[in-house]
Amino acid sequence: MKRFAALIDRLIYTRSRNSKLALIVDYLRHTPNPDRGWAIAALTESLDFPAVKAGTVRTLLATRVDEELFRLSRHFVGDTAETAALLWPDAQGKKADLSVSEAVDALAATSRSDAPAVVASLLDRLDADGRYALLKLALGGMRVGVSARLAKQAFAQAFDVPVDDVEELWHAIAPPYAPLFAWGEGRAERPDLADVAFFRPFMLAHPLEDGSVDLADYAAEWKWDGIRVQIVGGGGETRIYSRGGEEISGAFPELVAAFDQDAVIDGELLVRGEVQGGEAASFNALQQRLGRKVVSKKMLADYPAFVRVYDLLAVDGNDLRGLPWSERRRQLEAFVPRLADSHFDLSQVIDAADFDDLATRRAGARDAAIEGVMLKRRDAPYVAGRRAGLWYKWKRDPLTADCVMMYAQRGNGRRASFYSDYTFGCWTDGGELLPVGKAYSGFTDEELKWLDKFVRDNTLNRFGPVREVEKSLVLEVAFDSIHASKRHKSGLAMRFPRISRIRRDKPAEEADRIATLQAMVT
């Protein structure tokens, strides 16, 4: 537990992704099985011990620590696991280190009634940092900023194996992932994945910067603004994965229930919007459904989800990924009618005469849920990641607005000493500035230095980490789309806002008005 506790501690205080990666790589290389497998499962929140809950820990603490002192401490610390770890009295005498796997075994085997005694005996064998690690392991809520994607990358880097293979194997193997480590270390063959609802790494696209493609070689489809998902069905089981390989089946039970096929599809998860007459609603509506563990009936009714299917990766036990897009498309068109049309439809190929025609249609697309156009090479197989020349995304030209900087906040990591996050606003008819968005990208390092100096030289007020600035600087802000939003006073929410230009030349009074932005709402 010492090594695991030290790892968690370092991860808590490390901000940069690369440093986090290096810490996990080092841990995976130098920790034996099965501890490292359990540890990585704990970091990615893949463990659950139903018998141990926060209430168990509170009850347990009451046996060792005065309740009033616990209450005061909990109030100060703000986290039950950490409070308990710090308050638990150190046991006397030398303690043999407790391994992560011993702890996992004990926590998994306990019943609800035995849980307090089991947890107590484990806590007695640890110091404060170890107790923190144990309680986080038991209760979840690690919050060390390690996604499933990061963990898989760390694994690939630690054992020098392709990350695509790791992605594919990861979800098919249960913690503590012994076959995965055996393969990684070259002690065993790649595990066999027959009959498992496993995740296939997504094929991704490069942006189409300039120039054009020949539509004889490339098929065009609309790029929908939802979340890219993969639905894997088979062996009586259906799972939904997000682009990063996180399983999100729990948030969309109606889709799991409706997908009754031995097949793997790639598609865009969208929410049906009333205003669009049953067509796809904006990303805003979809956000209501994301990140939920329990989905209420009202949620299901108000924001009904469906999947627009792009591709077919496997069907009836056959892997189609090696086939060219045109052949997969043929099979996809034959397959989609097998799905319930209440929850699935086919992404249409855009029937453009040539590239200029396609450009015209792209420019004319007014649908809120259209992000742009996808161009897919007709003869390309489905391969993981971004490969040159196979798929392109051609986003709609961004919208822009001239806004006035209102507040600034410091960034993280390398940017900790720079005011790099900006809140900007536009004018109401009454001449008041209302915030319309926040951006922290789009500028060069040189521009950042200039913006940072502007913030420091023009500070009006400080609110903790936030500075209010003189409302004098106009920023040209680019964004993919803008939507009505009840969360903001301006009633507007931008999608992907970024700073496109600093308009030192433009007086603040001439920045755009809220009404102008409202006219862009889709």
Partner 1 sequence: MAKAKTWIEPHPSGIYVKPADLWIDPSRPVERAAVTHGHADHARSGHGAVFATPETLAIMALRYGVDAEASHNQAYEYGDGFERGGVRFSFHPAGHVLGSAQILMEYQGERIVVTGDYKRRPDPTCARFEVVPCDIFVTEATFGLPVFRHPPTGDEIAKLIGAVRAEPDRAVLVGAYALGKAQRVIAELRGAGWDAPIYIHGALEKMCQLYAIHGVDLGELRLVSETDKAEMAGQIVLAPPSALNDRWSRRLPDPVTAMASGWMRVRQRARQRMVELPLVISDHADWDELTATIAEVNPKESWITHGSEDGLLRWCELHQRKARALHLVGRDLEEEA
List contacts with partner 1 (CB under 8 A): 9, 12-15, 65-66, 68-69, 72-73, 76-79, 82-83, 86-87, 128, 132, 410, 412, 416-417, 456
Q: How far apart are CA 133 and CA 396, in angstroms?
A: 47
Residue 163 structure tokens: 């990350």
Which single residue is written with the structure tokens 């040209």?
Answer: 476
| Cα R_g (the chain), whole angstroms | 26
Pick left, alpha or beta for residue 442 (phi over 0 → left; psi -120 to 50 → alpha; otherwise beta). left
Contact 346, 308 (CB under 8 A): yes
Q: How far apart are CA 371 and CA 358, in angstroms?
A: 14
Task: Rank residues 395 and 410 by Cβ distance to partner 1 and give the closer one.
Answer: 410
Local structure of residue 293 (DSSP, 8 states): S
Q: How far apart are CA 209 and CA 232, in angstroms?
A: 33
Which single residue is written with the structure tokens 């862009």?
Answer: 520
Q: How far is CA 301 from CA 115, 210, 512, in A?
A: 39, 43, 38
Smallest gap from Cβ 400 to partner 1, in A, equals: 31
Q: How far apart are CA 276 and CA 66, in angstroms?
A: 59
Catalytic residue (choose from 152, 223, 376, 471): 223
Active site residue 486: no
Q: How far is CA 485 from CA 103, 475, 493, in A?
A: 47, 22, 6
Task: Rank residues 141 and 186 by Cβ distance to partner 1 and give the closer one.
Answer: 141
Query: What is the Cα 263 distance to its own chain's centre?
Result: 25
Smallest gap from Cβ 318 to partner 1, in A, equals: 50
Smallest gap from Cβ 155 to partner 1, in A, equals: 23
Task: Rank residues 69 and 460 by Cβ distance to partner 1 and give the closer one.
Answer: 69
Q: Residue 130 in 3-state DSSP?
A: helix
Smallest gap from Cβ 83 to partner 1, in A, equals: 6
Task: Rank residues 78 and 93 by Cβ distance to partner 1 and give the closer one.
Answer: 78
Smallest gap from Cβ 454 to partner 1, in A, equals: 14
Smallest gap from Cβ 128 to partner 1, in A, equals: 7
Task: Rank residues 76 and 463 by Cβ distance to partner 1 and give the closer one.
Answer: 76
Task: Rank residues 45 and 476 by Cβ distance to partner 1 and give the closer one.
Answer: 45
Task: Rank residues 68 and 316 by Cβ distance to partner 1 and give the closer one.
Answer: 68
Task: Rank residues 79 and 345 by Cβ distance to partner 1 and give the closer one.
Answer: 79
Contact 265, 231 (CB under 8 A): yes
Q: How far apart are CA 445 and CA 467, in angstroms?
A: 20
Amino acid, single-letter form, for residue 197: A
Smallest gap from Cβ 497 to partner 1, in A, equals: 25
Q: How far apart are CA 512 and CA 425, in angstroms?
A: 9
Smallest gap from Cβ 406 to partner 1, in A, equals: 22
Smallest gap from Cβ 463 to partner 1, in A, equals: 15
Task: Rank residues 3 and 376 by Cβ distance to partner 1 and give the closer one.
Answer: 3
Element containing residue 138 per DSSP (H, E) = helix 128-139
Instruction: Give the DSSP per-residue string, 343-390.
Output: TEEEPPBP--SSHHHHHHHHHH---TTEEEEEEEETT----SEE-TTT
Burial of 522 (0-12, 13-18, 19+ CB in 10 A): middle
Neighbours of 472 (CB within 10 A): 13
Smallest gap from Cβ 446 to partner 1, in A, equals: 15
Neighbours of 170 (CB within 10 A): 22
At CA 475, angle to CA 472 and CA 480, rounded to 5?
150
Task: Rank residues 85 and 280 by Cβ distance to partner 1 and give the closer one.
Answer: 85
Q: How far apart are CA 356 and CA 491, in angstroms?
A: 37
Q: How far apart are CA 434 and CA 426, in angstroms?
A: 6
Contact 201, 382 (CB under 8 A): no
Q: Which residues are catalytic?
A: 223
